[in-house]
Amino acid sequence: MDKILEGLVSSSHPLPLKRVIVRRVVESAETPLSQAQCRAMFALSTRLVLQGPDPFQRQVGRQVLEAYGRYHRAEFEAFFNRGLVLGLLQRGYGELSNRDPAILDYIQAGLRLIMSCPSVLELFELLQVEALRLVCERPAPPLCARLCQLLGDFPQCLPRGRKLSLAFCQQLVRSIAHFQSQGTREAELRLYVSQVTQVSGLLRSVWKAEPDTLLPSLQELFAVISAADTSFEPSVALASLVQHIPLQMITVLIRSLTTDPNVKDASMTQALCRMIDWLSWPLAQHVETWVIALLKGLAAVQKFTILIDVTLLKIELVFNRLWFPLVRPGALAVLSHMLLSFQHSPEAFHLIVPHVVSLVQSFKRDGLPSSTAFLMQLTELIHCMMYHYSGFPELYEPILEAVKDMPKPTEEKIKLILSQSAWTSQSSSLPSCLSRLSGKSETGKTGLINLGNTCYMNSVIQALFMATDFRRHVLSLNLNGCNSLMRKLQHLFAFLAHTQREAYAPRIFFEASRPPWFTPRSQQDCSEYLRFLLDRLHEEERTLKALSSAKTSESIMNEESQTQEAIHKAQVFAEAPCMGSEERTLIEKMFGGKLKTTICCLNCKSMSQKEEAFTDLSLAFCPPTSLENVGPKCMERSEVKDDYMVQTNTLATSPTGETPLNNLEVNGGCDTIMNEGTIKDFSTEPNSENTTNSELHKVQDNRDMSQRLVGKNTLSVTDLLNYFLAPEILSGDNKYYCEKCASLQNAEKTMQIIEEPEYLILTLLRFSYDPKCHIRRKILDNVSLPLVLELPVKRATSPLAVVSGGWSIGVEMSDIGENLAKKLKPSGADEVTCPQLVPYLLSSVVVHSGVSSESGHYYSYARNVTGSGPSGLCHQSTALSLVSPQDKLLTEESPCTVVENELDTEMPREWFLFNDSRVTFTSFQSVQKITSRFPKDTAYVLFYKKRNSTCGFNTSSANGLWVNGDPPLQKDLMDAITKDNKLYLQEQELSARTQALQAASASCSFRPNGFDDNDPPGSCGPTGGGGGGGFSTVGRLVF
């Protein structure tokens, strides 16, 4: 029968005839045959199956083998023995290689036929060994897939025992790593993917049946992808294994990988890069989940070098995956995480910027719902990155044009996304041995490191930084090549806005801006520092303008003559009665106002007037009698409940001689209150005090009267400013010398604000000089702060010459011996017109914590106020009016009600508390209650922003490139910030690796939450306020 069949299949008869005869041969399998005949039929059918030259012969071989093997099972069992199978697997069959998948097809068919025979157990044992040997030989995808199919159908052939089973899994993983597709056509690729799926499916079955093999298999997988051997690149087919790893194991595995000291940086970088390559695998699931988890894990242990290298290496590849719909979701997830977390430099984002427009246009052309959804996600991501790295119009303009029709996320949403995505915001719960990351707080704001009793500077700088329009002007200045103080302030502001550090150390700025009479590492007055700083910036800008003008007009002069000419021009410039708006310095534009003082002789009625410029008003405390006599309206305004107002401190400047900085301190008839922070004449001893006996007498009177205010109605800033603007009678020792009368006469002095500043700075004079003890005591009276106030401004109809010869920092009446009682008499000199009420919004509050000017601590509350913004920042409730008493314009509504309305509209998380390195969210309610909870903590310097004014500063540029409201940074500034951010990440990484960050190292006394209920924000311990229990503790205070 075998000879007939062999001759038939090789004959030239028609194929239909052959099939008929083959059917007869198959049917004859039921007839009894001798053992030799059966063996001959099995040999022939085996040869046809394995060596048939055409599909017909191979099909005939399978049909005959199956039929005769079924009916002659014993004979087939004897034929299909261990020797045959072993020979096929090790030597092949004739010219057929043992690595041909047909061998495994034949063996699988044979196993089905003898499944019920005892000898099959012997074959199972043989195949267990041979299967392990085969995978160790790195079979090609077709053979490996066929083997896995056989093992899947006959799991008895899988290697048994933990050792063999584990070895099989590990070797199968390495076999997959060697897979390569042999074709590029779609059909070939689909076949390749199905073969890989077959292999990974077998591994999943083994892992499920024997869980102990899973973790070693994954360790083998990591060993493969982390290998540094450049001659071998593992196949992306390994991505097919990821979907079979339980997601519950993410935490365990990531902890194991990121904290294993044996895993070198190069290995981790290589592994992460190859995992990112897996995003190209079309059917892989959860690859992006594991990639992002590993990225976060590395950030948690502060291995930033790896993250930087991998991001820069792979960001373009990930972006290119967005072109392919099958892998687009995973690629977009990884791209978003990589870009949003890479916040120290625009380098990664700028690598993909050139390709964004073409991808956006492709999505738009598709018009598919899925493409539109992805486009919206991509647009949100791009807006976040352009917001974070503004200042590159040549790069961003085409993108903005391409996505102009897409929804734009709100600024609040962008800030939230960025704050949650930064490397330094990742949870560090994985490595329990490491302390919490010292990245930026959830506020997104940067603290300032205390360099040794420099809280006075830190609080002022944060208040100036939060003066939004001023900050934007400073950042927009082109100061390249200039080493001015303004340049250093611009540098500091840029770092506060863009650094990744939790807190920045302003050493360079401190050394450049510290007044020469300030003793390093000793507590100083923040108001004095603020005035000195603003004056320095103002004078520096005037000098630079004069020098620039001199160099332009006198280019042919030698260097010496140019310098002399510049000095002369600077002097002329300083003596000029007024400057045009285009010639005003930035300090004048932001903080400069004008005050007109009028003195009327009560004998001849002649009047003398002068105008003086100011950058801040120093408000003295008014005695109770003044409140009683200013008018009933004032008393009504002062009846304010503690629950809705903020307490403030007052501080004054000591008198100075005539200097270019002549400070005009307004005592307003109150006792002279000596301010530690006075700008002295540089030609005199900085610490000298020019106090007279009358001044000392007034100080004592003021202290006594202020003490009588304790327990009475709370004063408000309204009362202090009304008192500041109230007329006063000059009589007795303070009589006015009238030139017309040519003698000392009683006179009335009034002050009016004729030009309001963009930012109104109010210093509350709280440190009074005690002549008995020769110390400055702090007045702890409660003073309420309105969120919104209206400043009375009586604009001059014709400009008057400025009598004072220079720029005035602060306001101080030259007549310092006023009679308190006489000041309270009503004015009868002339009838005044109603002033214009200019609304202001509370922007910042600098708080002094302590009981004396020689000790204590400063911190500040602040919010972003631009003057024209959402109602949350520019409260639309009825404003508090601040007008002089003679105008009788004080509204009858209680300020308590006004502030209640304002608090109802307060935006959540609008206020920030800046306490040196620490920045936290707070609320206006916390600002209100600070003094009631901690009596030594009182507001000191107040910043108010004029509402509905942007100082001529367009914060929403036409091209939309000022996406975060701030102007783009100069290239050198951006480069410096990028360099420092990289350095910071390296520092964090080094600290983590050496485990230098111990949990106990957080020696700061602040509690993470709820400190308001215990110690005040400015405290360093239970005593609070930094002042300890009294004046004897000064020597041991450290801030």
Q: Pick the catalytic residue: 144, 455, 600, 601? A: 455
Q: For residue 815, count CB atoms less than 10 angstroms from its CB and return exposed for 0-12, middle for 13-18, buried for 19 or more.
A: middle
Q: Pick the catalytic residue: 473, 857, 874, 951? A: 857
Distances (CA, A) of 85 to 42, 88, 124, 130, 730: 14, 5, 11, 10, 123
Instruction: Please report which helix (H) or strand (E) contains residue 611, including its range.
Output: strand 607-614
Output the CA torsion sign for 1012, 1018, 1020, 1022. negative
Q: How far is CA 239 from the centre of its chain?
A: 33
Structure tokens at 657: 């001689």
Distance CA 221, CA 210 (A): 17
| Residue 455 is among the residues annotated as catalytic for this protein | yes
**Cα pseudo-dihedral 606, 612, 618, 621, rounded to 10:** 0
Structure tokens at 75: 């004979």
Distance CA 349, CA 319 (A): 10
Distances (CA, A) of 400 to 353, 360, 959: 11, 11, 8
| b/e sequence 400-435, b meaning 16+ C-beta within 10 Å | bebbeebebbeeeebbebbbebbbbbbebebbeebb
Instruction: Please report which helix (H) or strand (E) contains residue 837, including its range.
Output: strand 836-849
What residue type is assigned to position 497 of the chain? A
In this structure, are residues 801 and 750 in contact, taking their beta carbons and an 8 Å threshold?
no
Angle at 674 between CA 669 and CA 676, to 5 degrees: 150
In this structure, are residues 515 and 680 in contact, taking their beta carbons and an 8 Å threshold?
no
Please enumerate in sequence order all residues whose Cβ is within 8 A of that of 1003, keeping only pairs 6 or more positions apart, or say none.
Answer: none
- Residue 1005 CB: number of other CB atoms within 10 A? 11
Q: How far is CA 836 from the centre of its chain?
A: 41
| b/e sequence 183-210, b meaning 16+ C-beta within 10 Å | eeeeeeeebbbebbbbbbebbbbbbeee
Phi/psi at 942 (nearest 5 deg)? -115, 135
Rg (CA), the chain: 42
Distances (CA, A) of 905 to 553, 874, 882, 937: 55, 10, 22, 26
3-state secondary structure of 369: helix
SS3 assignment for 450-495: CCCCCHHHHHHHHHHHCCHHHHHHHHHCCCCCCCCHHHHHHHHHHH
Distance CA 172, CA 119 (A): 28
Q: Which of 1014, 1011, 1016, 1019 is nearest to 1039 (CA)?
A: 1019
Q: Which of 807, 532, 765, 594 is nearest to 665 (CA)?
A: 765
Distance CA 148, CA 170 (A): 14
What residue type is assigned to position 187 of the chain? A
| Residue 244 is among the residues annotated as catalytic for this protein | no
- Cα atoms in the 13 Å half-sphere on the side-chain side of 36: 1
What residue type is assigned to position 481 of the chain? G
3-state secondary structure of 715: strand
Phi/psi at 857 (nearest 5 deg)? -150, 145
Distance CA 695, CA 63 (A): 122
- Cα atoms in the 13 Å half-sphere on the side-chain side of 270: 18
Distance CA 518, CA 524 (A): 7
Q: Provide the annotated active-site residues.
A: 455, 857
